[in-house]
Amino acid sequence: MADFMYFEDFAVGQAIETAPVTVTQAEIIEFAKKYDPQPMHTDPAAAEAITGGLIASGWHTASITMGLMITGRPYEIAPGTLGLGVDSLRWIKPVRPGDALRLKLEVVAVRESERQPDRGIITSRFVTVNQHDEPVQEMLSSAIVPRRAIKE
Amino acid sequence: MADFMYFEDFAVGQAIETAPVTVTQAEIIEFAKKYDPQPMHTDPAAAEAITGGLIASGWHTASITMGLMITGRPYEIAPGTLGLGVDSLRWIKPVRPGDALRLKLEVVAVRESERQPDRGIITSRFVTVNQHDEPVQEMLSSAIVPRRAIKE
């Protein structure tokens, strides 16, 4: 099992790139029926006129991106690590059935927490690209990460 | 059927509040197994030690919020309206099984598109609250919205 990554283990410039995951039409429709029921996401025929065919909900792309991070990173994060939120998220290109998405993740800022001395904040850029290496989503997001406990 | 909302129909200060939707433990686990497989989201027993019990993935809360907007607003948006992305998103409080979430949505900015004179940009604040009226997520997000076609 991989080592846990604590705050001290992160540095600006660290980067990973995951393997791809293919997005199916069935999955696009299933997600959208639950969370984003609009014809461009749920109805291939209606989507033809609106967006030139079915496109994935942006929230589906964001959720797939989260999954790529969790399953694709070559390390485990320390217990207690928590996503704080998103500083910016842009949907750049439509995601269509059959697209193979992968995640390019880079640490862009590392700072101590002012309020919690046993934790720090890591900000990363998440670029989700398709099989043509075109970015489909770009996001800046931060997580609060525990420091290593001081050994007794 | 409700009228379509075009760019001209939006104004700063317009607000809606949706009916609630209850989040189940099964749904939290199902979403997380697919998109955010971490024990605090997928394993009630393990989550006890990490977060005092199971909590929903932040991406699940964001997706539920999208669904509340689509199904809960009292109007239809004009065809061609597209989410541009998120300017900021914060997960403020954990969402736990049995929580009933509703969305308070307010238009905070309306501006013409510089590059596309037939469209404009609407920025809204999305506050997702639980059954105690506590915000669990706050988001600023923008969409590009078509203007009304000029009638011939």
- Residue A67 sits at φ, ψ, to 5 deg, of -60, -40
**What's the one-letter identity of residue B78?**
A
Nearest-CA distance B18 → chain A (Å):
15
| B37, B64, B90 ranked by CB distance to A84: nearest | B90
User: Mutating which of A66, A88, A128 best tests the B interface, going by the most B Cβ atoms within 10 A?
Assistant: A66
pLDDT at A2: 53
A1 pLDDT tier (thresholds 50, 70, 90): very low
Q: Kindly determine whether residue B36 and residue A67, on different chains, have CB atoms separated by under 8 Å.
A: yes
Q: What angle do CA B69, A35, B144 make, to 5 degrees?
A: 50
> Which bin fits B149, alpha (ψ -120 to 50), beta or left (φ > 0)?
beta
What digits encode the pLDDT tens for the residues B80-96?
888 889 999 999 999 99
| B63, B70, B88 ranked by CB distance to A63: nearest | B63
Spatial contact of A74 and A1, defined as CB atoms under 8 Å apart? no
Closest C-alpha among B130, B128, B139 to residue B86: B139
Judge whether A136 is closer than 8 Å to chain B, CB to CB.
no
Nearest-CA distance B143 → chain A (Å):
11
Judge whether B86 is closer than 8 Å to chain A, CB to CB.
yes
What digits encode the pLDDT tens for the residues A22-44?
999 999 999 999 999 999 999 99
Q: Kindly determine whether residue A85 and residue B36, on different chains, have CB atoms separated by under 8 Å.
A: no
User: Mutating which of A76, A82, A84 best tests the B interface, going by the most B Cβ atoms within 10 A?
Assistant: A82
pLDDT at A150: 59
Contact residues on chain A for B85, CB-CB shorter than 8 A: 58, 88-91
Q: Kindly determine whether residue A79 and residue B50, on different chains, have CB atoms separated by under 8 Å.
A: yes
What digits encode the pLDDT tens for the residues B10-63?
999 999 999 999 999 999 999 999 999 999 999 999 999 888 999 999 999 999
pLDDT at A82: 85
Spatial contact of A134 and A128, defined as CB atoms under 8 Å apart? no
pLDDT at B152: 43
Report the Cα–Cα distance between both ends of chain B, in Å, rounded: 24
Q: What sign has the CA pseudo-torsion B50, A8, A2, A71?
A: positive
| B35, B58, B64 ranked by CB distance to A67: nearest | B35
**Euclidean distance between CA atoms A81 and B40, whole angstroms:** 11
Report the Cα–Cα distance between both ends of chain A, in Å, rounded: 24
Read off the tokens for A140.
Answer: 């800046």
Q: Is the pLDDT of residue B128 over 50?
A: yes
| A50, A66, A67 ranked by CB distance to B80: nearest | A50
pLDDT at B79: 80
Read off the tokens for A3.
Answer: 């080592």
Judge whether A64 is closer than 8 Å to chain B, CB to CB.
yes
Read off the tokens for B83.
Answer: 């989410």
**Euclidean distance between CA atoms A130 and A113, whole angstroms:** 35
Nearest-CA distance A152 → chain B (Å):
22
CB burial string A98-136: b at 16+ within 10 A, e below: ebebbbbbebeebeeeeeeeebbbbbbbbbbbbeeeeeb
User: Mutating which of A24, A59, A93, A128 best tests the B interface, going by the most B Cβ atoms within 10 A?
Assistant: A59
Spatial contact of A47 and A28, defined as CB atoms under 8 Å apart? no
Least confident of A5-14, A78-87, A131-140, B125-134: A78-87
